[in-house]
Amino acid sequence: MITLLIPVIFFGVFIYMILTNDKELEEKNKAYTELSIKILIIVFFSIVASVVISLQKEIPASSGHGGFVYIIIPAMIGSLVFFLYLISLTIDPKRKISLGIISVMLNLVTGMICSITEF
């Protein structure tokens, strides 16, 4: 589990460096800027990465559900995180970078948890 968390931490640091290097950091009080659109795209790709990570699990042929659980759970939690991030942008736009990184991390950890869990 720790070996799975190391790439997630590096990914979070990488995203933070990309987002803080943006020129529009003085527009922190606005909810929807170019920076928030970049973060939304990154959160969407983290949902896709979460599904891909959870599908790395060896699914037994006798499981009976065909592996849909490994697709549905990360996608549902990821879409919930995506909408919660959209709502948090309107409530507190000053924290858009930190909330975006937390959203990405939460999606990736969800994929990792689904990949090690037996359903």
- 39 compared with 64, residue with greater pLDDT: 39
pLDDT of residue 88: 87
Q: What is the mean pLDDT of residues 51-72?
A: 75
Instruction: Tell me the range of 30-39, 45-54, 56-65, 90-99 where mean pLDDT is highest.
Output: 45-54
User: For residues 103 and 82, is the Cβ–Cβ distance under 8 A?
Assistant: yes
pLDDT of residue 90: 84
Q: Contacts by 64-67 with C-beta closer than 8 Å and gap 24+?
A: 65/119
E-strand spans in 14-83?
none
pLDDT of residue 79: 92
Token pair 């990465």 is at which residue? 49
Number of domains composing the chain = 1
**What are the Cα distances from residue 116, in Å, to 6, 55, 67, 90?**
16, 10, 13, 35
**Owning domain of residue 54:** 2-116
How far, in Å, CA of 87 to CA of 15, rounded? 21
pLDDT of residue 99: 87
